Amino acid sequence: MSTVITGNTLTLEINSVDYTAQVTAVQVTREDTQETFDVLGSRVYKTVTFPYTMEVTILPDWGATGSLCEVLTAAALTAPDTALAFELLVEEGTAEEVKVEGEVFPEVVDAGGIGFEVTPVTITFTGDRNEPLTFTHPA
């Protein structure tokens, strides 16, 4: 069973710079990894890691000043094992607003297009299993 979170505003931190992309969709999916062991007289539950992925669809910004596509690709090619912090606001601006924070590993962003149309790009980030997601209600 997995938990799916969708959001409104996404900020990625890369080399101490916050990037708020032109996100058209974002979804964080956390997998349930709790294991059950039968021991003498009872059952024990143990969660070892906290795996999750974050799928983000953005409008590509190749060539723009401060391009997220270029920064993500450079990070993936030069430091693929260095996690990037993210902050996702869900139900932004409402009483139900929740901030989801975690760390994901950079990915090379696909490049392409169709004529003069804007072609969204979807990136699937792997979450850092050693750092569980945190959920807070901003004041």
pTM of this structure: 0.79
pLDDT digits over 102-117, tens only? 999 999 998 877 777 7
pLDDT digits over 36-77, tens only? 888 888 999 888 777 899 999 888 888 888 888 999 999 999
Could you give the C-alpha distances from 50 to 15, 38, 53, 102, 131, in angstroms and in order? 24, 22, 10, 11, 7
Q: Is the pLDDT of residue 124 over 90?
A: yes
Domains within the chain, CATH numbers bracketed:
2-136 (2.30.110)
